[in-house]
Structure 1
Amino acid sequence: MRAVPPMARAYILCAVLAAAACAAPALRPGAGTPWGAVALLALLYAACEQLTRCPFMGRRAPTGMGSFVPVLLAGAFLLPPSAAALVAVPGALLGRVEQHPVWLRRLWHAGQLPLASCAAAHAFGASPGGGHVLGAAGFPYALLPACAGAAAFCLVLAVLDGGILVTAERRSPRTAWRGLLLRSLAPYLVHGLAGLMMAVLWRSPYGPVASLLVLLPMYVSCWVFAQYHRERAAHQATIRALVQAVDIKDRYTRGHSERVGRASVMIARELGMDEHRQEVLRFAGILHDVGKLGVPTRLLRKDGPLTPEERRIIELHPEYGHEMVRGIGFLGEARAAILHHHERMDGRGYPYGLAGARIPEYARVVAVADAFDAMTSTRSYRRARPVDTAVAELRRCAGAQFDPRMVRALARAIDRHGWHPAVTADGLDPAVVADGLDPVARLAPLDRGGGS
């Protein structure tokens, strides 16, 4: 979000104005707003968000607005809708933000969270018995209204988040909203139950102090969840280290793997894949050539033509790569893409000569992304081809070498977003390309003197 599009800025402004309109009734004279409860809950939420900045907690503290949502939902269950909207404002404006632009992200949180809290309060109050069953005796009957409130909170956030993906990242509406609600509904229902327990204890003879007891197990659970994400981040760092090792060993792949991962995600988004599958495809693109670590460096950098035996050795790199990553569980289908990204639709590829639909879908995506980046990157033996020329070549080879569906998806994505590849400083020797190891070598005619 380094350069925020004007449409996204306007969208955020609209969200802030809508939040202000929701909170305005609480500020009117004679509104009967319970300012004591509003102030206590707002102070509690802001203090909880400040815990993520605490030097003692450091990086161990869970980050993000989701850690203390029960406080917002407790406010939605205890207060009128307009007053519930005010609870989120101080914490949203003061909370920890790690990405730029900081002020715009805080303003965005100050718009979306009050809107979600207001919607949760309306849903809770509109449910049968809502607002009148928070005593200890009526606790079981408050479960349904609380779930309705949490679901409304989740729905509003999902709608708003999808909108920011459309306006800020220029995703298509179908891909922006796909799966957002379903992925987050269950966690927010859990937050809703915790918020309900806070509200019940708040109304109990023990008062607001007792409600703080609910936050401790919620904070611990969020901390455990954050640890899981840190472990996953460590796996990703390992993947990057593998890619860097390949870049050092084989000059051709320098920067190539990252770009193939990016192009693979563009295809996946155009095909409507959910975010989890997009992430796996990104890993597949990044790691597709990791098996070159098992190939002798002298072959990768050989000046003269390869012998048939040397070529067979290099063509083992997909199998080497598959063996290297088979123990990384979260890669899932990416392992098949690493193994089969040099297969062809007509069955003339390697390592197993698979054809058509027998080639895994992820491998067909990576094959197109791989060839496209190879054509549009500058090499020592030629300049980069124009993007339009590369896309035309992919279309020409669709059906024989590439899956036409993947080629069409990449073409649509490029039309929508463009393509700005980084320049590769130096590439593989022309003799190696002529031997058919570079995907471009399989896209005749070559632009090295008219052919190979």
Structure 2
Amino acid sequence: MTALPRAARVYIAGAVLSAAACAAPAAWAAGVPWSTVLLLAALYAVCELPARCRYLGDSVPVSAGSFFPVLLAAAFLLPPAVAALVPVPGALLGRVDRPPATARRIWRAAQLAPPTWAAGQVYLLLGGDHTLRAPDFPFALLPAAGGALAFCLVLTVLEGGIRVTAERVPLRSAWRGLLPASSAPHCVHGLAGLMMAVLWSSPYGPVSALFVLLPMYISCWIFAQYHRERAAHQATIRALVQAVDIKDRYTRGHSERVGRASVLIARELSMEEGRLEVLRFAGILHDVGKLGVPTRVLRKDGPLTPQERRVIELHPEYGHEMVRGIGFLGEARAAILHHHERMDGSGYPYGLVGSQIPEFARVVAVADAFDAMTSTRSYSRARPVPVALAELERCAGTQFDPQMVRALVRALARHGWETSVTSDEAMAVGAPRGQEPGEAPPGPVPPPWRVRAG
């Protein structure tokens, strides 16, 4: 949302009006326990600032949801309209890492107020009450679960809307995966919120309710460690890719697109979400072994000698050696080593056949060839996507896994593909670069996937 689109501004304004409508009845409500409102609002505001703590570092996003139990406790203790006020101060004061900061804070407040209101309404509708006592605890589980699910549903609907308007995510995929991924955590938050509410109403008072937040702080700290580690992983990947792009300027940007195409294939194959990021790393790093190939060979104009070709064909093994000690890459290491294997056994480095080739390597091989064919470089024009797909289908079963090719065809029919220029260096007219390193000389004989494949 750095440059906020008009649609996003309208959407945020609508969310603000919805939040105001939810909270408006609090202005004339009688018997509101304003001391409880202020305490819960202050507590949530403090919880929204963990990223400012030097022990947690700068890697904790305020939207992590670790302290939603405070909001759900408010929904169980207060009238719905009053509970909708609780997240507002914390959302407006919380940390924002990207501009526009004001719009993000306003959106955050507008996003959290309606779910809190909805949670309170459903809680009351299912028989919950605001005078919780320990004996009521088992019977309050159903209303609390309903309130937590209502909170999750409304929050998910609003989140998908901002993805469409601000991030320009296609409407058909804006909500994909949001509800399944968040429903279980929000049910846990609901249970924690119910425990907070019971303790808050107990003779021990609000102070005892703070003990429920201790596990939340611990989970937030653990998440911070994970987030920092993941950021370090991303930095490692970026550094390696930039090094390859600098060394082999003719394929700049190719690796990132291979990673993206690999994920498209994997989603069509219904691979587990946990494997998708590793597969993306495999696509991005598939050519990292080029760092071990002499620059004069990579940038050579004209045909390669047999000896130079043998050097080029060592780049999968070079790459595997480079990433062998990077534990988080997992299956990606095998893809880096085997992405030039062929289904008929004529590939390299080991001449594996069919299912002997690791699954990730078969995915990356298709993604690599497809992007190479559809990318415009300074020495060759991109082929249209249908032509590239037809070539992949022609070679399915000999070089490429037919299942991966079919998955790519389906994915592109669903999502489309934007062709790109992978080199920003112009070549002199009449003096084209003779061939891409490790590929057959240009001409009508070699198939397109051999001419351009990285």
Q: TM-score, normalised by structure 2?
A: 0.81
Distance in 2, matches of 1:13 and 1:79, equals: 26
Distance in 1, matches of 2:445 and 2:106, equals: 51
2:236 matched residue in structure 1: 238
1:10 aligns with 2:10: yes
The AA in structure 1 aligned to 2:406 is R
1:207 matched residue in structure 2: 205
The AA in structure 2 aligned to 1:394 is A
Structure 1 pair 435/273, CA: closer, same or farther in 2 (3 Å)?
Answer: closer
Distance in 1, matches of 2:213 and 2:267, equals: 38
Residue from 143, 159, 162 that aligns with 2:160: 162
Structure 1 pair 138/18, CA: closer, same or farther in 2 (3 Å)?
Answer: same
Greater shift, 86-95 or 154-163, is seen at 154-163
How far the C-alpha of 1:300 sits from its partner, in A, is 2.5
1:399 aligns with 2:396: no
Distance in 2, matches of 1:245 and 1:163, equals: 38
Q: TM-score, normalised by structure 1?
A: 0.82
Distance in 2, matches of 1:311 and 1:287, equals: 21
The AA in structure 2 aligned to 1:93 is L
CA contact (8 A) 1:368 1:406 kept: no
2:129 matched residue in structure 1: 131
Structure 1 pair 361/163, CA: closer, same or farther in 2 (3 Å)?
Answer: farther
Distance in 2, matches of 1:173 and 1:441, equals: 44
Q: Secondary structure of the equivalent of 2:303?
A: coil
Structure 1 pair 259/36, CA: closer, same or farther in 2 (3 Å)?
Answer: same
Residue from 281, 285, 288 that aligns with 2:286: 288
The AA in structure 2 aligned to 1:187 is P
1:435 matched residue in structure 2: 439
1:408 aligns with 2:409: yes
Structure 1 pair 17/177, CA: closer, same or farther in 2 (3 Å)?
Answer: same
1:366 matched residue in structure 2: 364
How far the C-alpha of 1:266 sits from its partner, in A, is 5.5
CA contact (8 A) 1:433 1:441 kept: no
2:177 matched residue in structure 1: 179
Q: Deviations over 1:81-110 (max 9, x none)?
A: 111111111211221111223222222212
1:197 matched residue in structure 2: 195
Q: Secondary structure of the equivalent of 1:398?
A: helix
How far the C-alpha of 1:294 sits from its partner, in A, is 3.6
Structure 1 pair 20/278, CA: closer, same or farther in 2 (3 Å)?
Answer: farther
1:74 matched residue in structure 2: 73
How far the C-alpha of 1:289 sits from its partner, in A, is 0.5
Q: CA RMSD in A?
A: 3.7
CA contact (8 A) 1:270 1:413 kept: no
The AA in structure 1 aligned to 2:7 is M
Structure 1 pair 307/395, CA: closer, same or farther in 2 (3 Å)?
Answer: same
Distance in 2, matches of 1:24 and 1:110, equals: 15
| Structure 1: 5+ residue stretches without partners | none
CA contact (8 A) 1:344 1:400 kept: no
Distance in 1, matches of 2:322 and 2:445, equals: 26
Residue from 212, 227, 230 that aligns with 1:229: 227
Distance in 2, matches of 1:326 and 1:237, equals: 17
The AA in structure 1 aligned to 2:37 is V
How far the C-alpha of 1:135 sits from its partner, in A, is 1.2
1:91 matched residue in structure 2: 90
How far the C-alpha of 1:47 sits from its partner, in A, is 2.6
Distance in 2, matches of 1:191 and 1:394, equals: 49
Structure 1 pair 364/5, CA: closer, same or farther in 2 (3 Å)?
Answer: farther
Q: Deviations over 1:298-347 (max 9, x none)?
A: 43344553233432332232344344435544434434443443345676
1:321 aligns with 2:319: yes
CA contact (8 A) 1:364 1:406 kept: no
1:331 aligns with 2:338: no
CA contact (8 A) 1:345 1:399 kept: no
Greater shift, 361-370 or 211-220, is seen at 361-370
Greater shift, 107-116 or 333-342, is seen at 333-342
Distance in 2, matches of 1:445 and 1:353, equals: 18
How far the C-alpha of 1:270 sits from its partner, in A, is 7.4
Q: Secondary structure of the equivalent of 1:137?
A: helix
CA contact (8 A) 1:246 1:293 kept: yes
Q: Secondary structure of the equivalent of 2:135?
A: coil
Distance in 2, matches of 1:139 and 1:329, equals: 45
Structure 1 pair 60/236, CA: closer, same or farther in 2 (3 Å)?
Answer: closer
2:51 matched residue in structure 1: 52
Distance in 1, matches of 2:186 and 2:411, equals: 35
CA contact (8 A) 2:118 2:151 kept: yes
How far the C-alpha of 1:210 sits from its partner, in A, is 2.8
The AA in structure 2 aligned to 1:436 is A
Structure 1 pair 366/160, CA: closer, same or farther in 2 (3 Å)?
Answer: farther
| Structure 2: 5+ residue stretches without partners | none
Distance in 2, matches of 1:293 and 1:179, equals: 38
Aligned length: 440
